[in-house]
Amino acid sequence: MNGAARDSDESHDLSCLLMHRFNEYIKFTPSEVMRIRALGEKPIALPRSAVIREQEVRPTCVYILVDGWAAASVVYESGNRQITKVHLPGDLMGVSSACLDLTAECLTALTPVVASRVPLERFGRLFAESPRFAAAMFLSSQRERIALIDAMSRIGRTTSAERLAALLLDLHERLSRVSHACDLRLETPITQEDFADILGMTPVHVNRCFKKLQNLGSIRRFGKRIEILDPHALAKFARWSPRSVASKLDWLIEPTVPELSGPRA
Amino acid sequence: MPRYFFDITDGTSTFDDTGNEFADLSAARDAAIQTLSEMARDEIGRDKHLQVAVLMRGECGQELFRASLALSAEWLVELPE
């Protein structure tokens, strides 16, 4: 991906998306918001299946997903891939590989996407300028780790249908936060093969698991639209419950920071 | 890509009216076999006997491939009451 010029409206949209992510933990001051707005380069549109960033290359930037769905996946020589994270609008992508010489995962567009590149130097400068941003990023990284812990324990100790049910509930919860999920309906613009690569099973088995959830009366499926008919029963079946973010974070983040100067948002 | 249909038997029979696309026959067959192992992993331990089977059909309904996987387990000692 290339791009340099920044447009104020686009960067405003980027900051809104990022703010949404970080506001879970922290309320930024106007000057911090301005700094975060300046993070991303001009967003670029890419078609479905486009490689946003290759695996095993030197990491030079992270990416903000502005629109569409993307996957972080580990690709094997056989051509098989395991999707380790489904990225939704507002997600920062490729951050974990910033600690490596070569990237651990490939970033691919699961749907047509709009993404903005953030050079690591610019990202790092914000850490130095804003300890509160650094704290929010630290918490965000820990939340990603929790998501991996949940995924790993499900792989080890739950059935395929339970994993699919948990994935649907997880996607619905995440989409609800960025207002892309309407009521209990879930638009999943990804293929059965994508579901298979996320869950580590064949598309045949994914198909069968969907039928099982439908037969249980937990979901209804119309093409790529999934309606969760009984969220409590589905959550009980999946042994899934939403993770609530810590409400008391004053050990890490000062509740208020005096704003001596700086532009107003 | 051609579409293949996979009818599953695991105590009950499930007729596949949706199907999945695969590049060729052999990719579809590999998925059928792998699906059996995934089903077995889900079901194993619930009963001492397990039999899962898959019948693969083509777009015109013709039967193309069949595979099954069975577990039979039995105690060789008398269990205490």
DSSP string of chain A, one letter each residue: -------HHHHHHHHHHHHHHHTTT----HHHHHHHHTSS---EEE-TT-EEE-SSS---EEEEEEES-EEEEEE-TTS-EEEEEEE-TT-EES-GGGGSSS-SSEEEESSSEEEEEEEHHHHHHHHHH-HHHHHHHHHHHHHHHHHHHHHHHHHHHS-HHHHHHHHHHHHHHHHHHTT-SBTTEEE--S-HHHHHHHHTS-HHHHHHHHHHHHHTTSEEEETTEEEES-HHHHHHHHT--PPPPPS--TTTS-S-----S----
- The verdict on a CB contact (< 8 Å) between A211 and B32 is no
Residues in chain A closer than 8 A to B14 (CB atoms):
208, 211
Closest of A194, A193, A211, A237 to residue B10, by C-alpha: A211
Distance from CA of A232 to the nearest CA of B (A): 22
Residues 6+ apart with CB under 8 A from B40: B50, B52, B69, B71
Residues of A with CB under 8 A from a CB of B: 159-161, 192-193, 201-205, 207-208, 211
Q: pLDDT tens, B3-45?
A: 999 999 988 888 999 999 999 999 999 999 999 999 999 988 7
Residues in chain A closer than 8 A to B15 (CB atoms):
none
Residues in chain A closer than 8 A to B20 (CB atoms):
192-193, 203-204, 207
* Neighbouring-strand partners of residue A119: A61
- The verdict on a CB contact (< 8 Å) between A205 and B38 is yes
Per-residue pLDDT of chain A (265 residues; tens, 9 = 90+): 544 334 445 555 666 666 667 677 788 888 888 888 788 899 999 999 999 999 999 999 999 999 999 999 999 998 899 999 999 988 999 999 999 999 999 999 999 999 999 999 999 999 998 888 899 899 999 999 999 999 999 999 999 999 999 999 999 999 888 766 667 888 889 999 999 999 999 999 999 999 999 999 999 998 889 999 999 999 999 999 999 888 888 888 876 655 555 554 4
Taking the C-alpha atoms of residue A83 and residue A194, their distance in angstroms, rounded to an integer, is 8
Residues in chain B closer than 8 A to A192 (CB atoms):
20
Residues of B with CB under 8 A from a CB of A: 6, 8, 14, 16, 18-20, 31-32, 34-35, 38-39, 41-42, 54
- The verdict on a CB contact (< 8 Å) between B39 and A208 is yes
Rg (C-alpha) for chain B, rounded Å, is 16
The model's pTM is 0.88
Which residue among A160, A192, A211 places its CB closest to the CB of B38? Answer: A160
Distance from CA of A48 to the nearest CA of B (A): 18
- The verdict on a CB contact (< 8 Å) between A202 and B14 is no
* Neighbouring-strand partners of residue B55: B7, B66
Is the separation of the CB atoms in A201 and A160 below 8 Å?
Answer: yes
- The verdict on a CB contact (< 8 Å) between B20 and A204 is yes
Residues in chain A closer than 8 A to B31 (CB atoms):
202-204
Residues in chain B closer than 8 A to A208 (CB atoms):
6, 8, 14, 35, 39
- The verdict on a CB contact (< 8 Å) between A208 and B35 is yes
Residues in chain A closer than 8 A to B8 (CB atoms):
208
Q: pLDDT tens, B41-68?
A: 998 876 678 899 999 999 999 999 999 9
Which residue among A159, A192, A204 places its CB closest to the CB of B32? Answer: A204
Closest chain A residue by Cα to residue B45: A159
Is the separation of the CB atoms in A219 and A238 below 8 Å?
Answer: no
Q: Tell me the pairing of strands A106-109 and A70-75.
A: antiparallel
